[in-house]
Amino acid sequence: MVRSHLYLASASPRRRELLLQIGVTCQVLPVDLDESPEPGESAEHYVGRLALDKARAALTLLGKAERTLILAADTAVVIGADILGKPRDAADAAAMLRRLSGGEHRVLSGVALIGADGRETSALNESRVRMRRIFDAEIAAYWATGEPADKAGGYAIQGRAAVFVEALSGSYSGVMGLPLFETAALLAAAGVPSLHKIILKEPT
């Protein structure tokens, strides 16, 4: 049996590293899309739509190559009804972190897979993150590290912002940007082996 070749429609090194964590290798194929929410769009629909749009855009770049699988994901930090994307600048990042400070917010991650037969599948993960109070001096120092500039909500849970996180309910990998439970399930259904198959294999 010839294995399908997996492409990751993302420039995020974190998503590639998360795939490697479960034994899945891929080729990175970044796509450039307008990531603005549509008027009245729910956060759940937003991340699901963007994940699929990224996968479809990558498929357009590749053409209809045989045995090609395309994986894409999108993550949003949500507080109330507001979707917090990547900060435009230091002031925007500071405003986001002040809103997150001392409270709980949701992190939604959508993941989509286009199979070798053109079939589209997708999944959604929701996590909840509680932040301690974050002081303005900490916010300024954090921005100066450069870490929050390209992160949804203006923070990276796997980086220095870990010291702000009091509690997490849900998926750590989902908050990072690629929920591995859902991703592994989609890949397994498409015939892509991953480390979980080795771990869960019954002893002989």
Strand 82-84 versus strand 68-79 pairing type: antiparallel
Which segments of 104-162 does DSSP mark as H helices, in order? Answer: 136-144
In this prediction, residue 2 carries a pLDDT of 43
Phi, psi of 120 (to 5 degrees): -105, 130
Beta bridge partners of 113: 71, 121
Q: Of the residues 32, 34, 53, 74, which is catalytic?
A: 74
Q: pTM for the complete prediction? A: 0.88
- Looking at the chain, the whole-number percentage of residues with pLDDT higher than 90 is 74
CB 176 within 8 A of CB 166: no
Span 57-85, mean pLDDT?
88
Q: d(Cα 92, Cα 16) in Å, to the nearest integer? A: 27
Phi, psi of 118 (to 5 degrees): 85, 0
Long-range contacts of 197-201 (CB under 8 A, 24+ apart): 198/23
In this prediction, residue 96 carries a pLDDT of 97
Give Cβ neighbours of residue 24 (< 8 Å, ≥ 6 apart).
Answer: 6, 187, 192, 193, 194, 195
In this prediction, residue 4 carries a pLDDT of 65
User: Is the pLDDT score of 115 beyond 50?
Assistant: yes
23-51 residue pLDDT tens: 899 999 999 898 889 999 999 999 999 99
In this prediction, residue 195 carries a pLDDT of 59
Active site residue 89: no
Cα-to-chain-centroid distance, residue 144:
24
For 26, the token pair is: 């891929």
CB 124 within 8 A of CB 48: yes
65 band by pLDDT with thresholds 50, 70 and 90:
low
User: Is the pLDDT score of 197 beyond 90?
Assistant: no
Q: d(Cα 161, Cα 14) in Å, to the nearest integer? A: 15
User: Is the pLDDT score of 141 beyond 70?
Assistant: yes
In this prediction, residue 124 carries a pLDDT of 98
Give Cβ neighbours of residue 44 (< 8 Å, ≥ 6 apart).
Answer: 108, 110, 124, 126
204 band by pLDDT with thresholds 50, 70 and 90:
very low
19 band by pLDDT with thresholds 50, 70 and 90:
very high
Average pLDDT in the chain: 90
In this prediction, residue 6 carries a pLDDT of 92
Stronger pLDDT, 20 or 64, i.e. the higher one: 20
